[in-house]
Amino acid sequence: MKADTQAKDVKLKILDAAKKLFAQKGFEGTTVRQICDEAGVALALVSYHFGGKENVFYALFEAFTPEFLHKDYALAEPVEDLLSLIRDFARFRLAEPELINLLQQEIMMQSPRLDKVQPIVFALWKQLRAILQAGKATGQFEYESLKHTVHFVVGALIFTRNSSFFDQLLQEDGVQTNEDEETLIRYTSDFILGGLRYEKK
Amino acid sequence: MKADTQAKDVKLKILDAAKKLFAQKGFEGTTVRQICDEAGVALALVSYHFGGKENVFYALFEAFTPEFLHKDYALAEPVEDLLSLIRDFARFRLAEPELINLLQQEIMMQSPRLDKVQPIVFALWKQLRAILQAGKATGQFEYESLKHTVHFVVGALIFTRNSSFFDQLLQEDGVQTNEDEETLIRYTSDFILGGLRYEKK
DNA sequence: GTCTATACCTCGATAGAC
DNA sequence: GTCTATCGAGGTATAGAC
């Protein structure tokens, strides 16, 4: 019992460290040593608990995959559904920026590890795709290419991040830092709905 | 003379191979051996011609940086400027998808190599930022947060790519493959201008 | 379960023949 | 200028003490 608890703590410490480092330096750019140092545990424990660096990666997504990915949007109200999806995704991105970051890297480089993670992302994007189709059918959304529109929406959703790289360039305006979750969601929804030519009633 | 020509060929072969591999597997995930194999040259030549793997990376961006980044948009006509920028970027992305890919990876993971490449990207985004501001001043663009809007636009611009990862999911509709450059540019412009609530005259 | 010490491999870079 | 052979550093994974 006590042993189990200790093990869980260590596993969690490793996962947290790996999440941070993978996002920062990529999977290949991160060493097991760095992970264990960051976690404050011995080098051997990654292999002991996970069976290798690669399995840490997979465990990361199993542990942190959000529940909303399994949610089924009704498609009866495409606008409402899209707003829900934007909100769900924005919240996940705010809660787990490193995971989004890492995922985006892996997608970009078509990593071999993607095979196992693909279903998770696909679930979300298939829903987005269905919502966009439904919205076009009801005449509420206007676009020509479904494929490209999914790209645009995903791009807008995923790229909105607090990267110091950007902030260097972009901080120097209205100084509206510390905006809350709801504000960010509104900005995102406004832009995307505009891109879909949805007219607010 | 002949020696120079040969050297140039080898350097170019290495750059091409590195471009492809870096985009595919990331900088850290690519080995010098892989680069040389892909280029069909001996292992030692990366060090001989470039002085190390890291310098191959920098040479890549010096060699392939597009001229339009140095273009100055007039800002008298924000809509026209934005359309030009979208067009310029889309063309670059179609011509050099690997470079965009690699750049995005590096940005995501805030790589130490970014310091030397940062100015290139900043040049473009600063222009985008200025155009968005100008368009808001003339009342043609409508948005609340400049910072987030830049994010959205960049996201839409950068994420539109022919990735087999996406196509798996998205190929199965109108079967409008092989659309040309102009069509892609129109889709992108339509979405972004919509997001900015620009009303076509 | 956790640690240290180490085996074994592959990395980037270079020396030296051609 | 280009090659092969090799060095030293640093990678992952594991054996064995505690």
Task: Supply the CATH number for residue A10's domain.
Answer: 1.10.10.60
pLDDT in tens, chain A (201 residues): 444 455 569 999 999 999 999 999 999 999 999 999 999 999 999 999 999 999 999 999 998 877 777 788 888 999 999 999 999 999 999 999 999 889 888 988 889 999 888 888 888 889 999 999 999 999 999 999 999 999 999 999 988 765 666 666 666 555 555 568 999 999 999 999 999 999 876
Give me the number of domains chain A comprises.
2
- Is A40's CB less than 7 Å from nucleic acid strand D? no
Report yes or no on whether pTM surpasses 0.85: yes
Q: Is residue B201 part of a domain?
A: no
Q: Would you say the C-beta of B7 is within 7 Å of strand D?
A: yes
In a domain, A201, yes or no: no
Say whether both B114 and B72 belong to one domain: yes
- Looking at A58, A89, A107, the residue that finishes a domain is A58
Residues A47 and A91 reside in one and the same domain: no
Distance A51 CA to C4 C1' (A): 19
Domain-terminating residue out of A37, A58, A79 = A58
Quick one: three-class SS letters along chain B?
Answer: CHHHHHHHHHHHHHHHHHHHHHHHHCCCCCCHHHHHHHHCCCCCHHHHHHCCHHHHHHHHHHHHCCHHHHCCCCCCCHHHHHHHHHHHHHHHHHHCHHHHHHHHHHHHCCCCCHHHHHHHHHHHHHHHHHHHHHHHHCCCCCCCCHHHHHHHHHHHHHHCCCCHHHHHHHCCCCCCCCCCHHHHHHHHHHHHHHHCCCCCC
pLDDT attached to residue B53: 98
Q: Looking at CA atoms only, how far is residue A54 from chain B in angstroms?
A: 14
pLDDT band per the 50, 70, 90 thresholds, residue B1: very low
DSSP A173: S
The verdict on residue A75 lying in a domain is yes
Residue B37 in domain? yes
Q: Which residue from B110, B114, B170 is facing A150, i.e. has the nearest CB?
A: B170
Determine the pLDDT at residue B166: 66
Q: Say if B152 falls within a structural domain.
A: yes
CA of B42 to C1' of C17 (A): 15
What is the average pLDDT across B163-192?
76
Query: Which DSSP string corresponds to A12-81?
Result: HHHHHHHHHHHHHH-TTT--HHHHHHHHTS-THHHHHHHSSHHHHHHHHHHHH--GGGG----SSSHHHH
Residue B167, pLDDT above cutoff 90? no
Helices A2-25 + A97-108 axis angle, to 10 = 50
Does residue B101 lie within any of the structural domains?
yes
The verdict on a CB contact (< 8 Å) between A195 and B197 is no
Cross-chain CB nearest to B151 (options A108, A149, A166)? A166
| C-alpha distance from B31 to closest chain A C-alpha (Å) | 11
CA geometry: angle B155, A30, B122, nearest 5 deg: 30
Same structural domain, A52 and A69: no
Assess whether A74 and A136 both reside in one domain.
Answer: yes
**pLDDT value at residue A80:** 96
The verdict on residue B118 lying in a domain is yes
Domain that residue A129 falls in: 65-196
CA distance B200 to chain A (A): 12
DSSP annotation of A8: H
Of B22, B40, B58, the last residue of a domain is B58
Residue contact B156–A125, C-beta within 8 A: no
A60 touches A12 (CB < 8 A)? no
Chain A residues closer than 8 Å to B34 by CB: none
Same domain as A85, residue A50: no
Q: Do A29 and B26 touch (CB under 8 A)?
A: yes
For residue B108, the domain's CATH number is 1.10.357.10
Indicate whether B42 pLDDT > 70: yes
Are both A129 and A180 inside the same structural domain? yes
The CA-based diameter of chain A, rounded to the nearest angstrom, is 60
Identify whether residues A41 and A89 lie together within a single domain: no
Strand D closer than 7 A to residue A48 Cβ: yes
Residue at minimal CA–C1' distance from C11? B31
Same domain for B53 and B70, yes or no, is: no
Same domain, yes or no: B125 and B184: yes
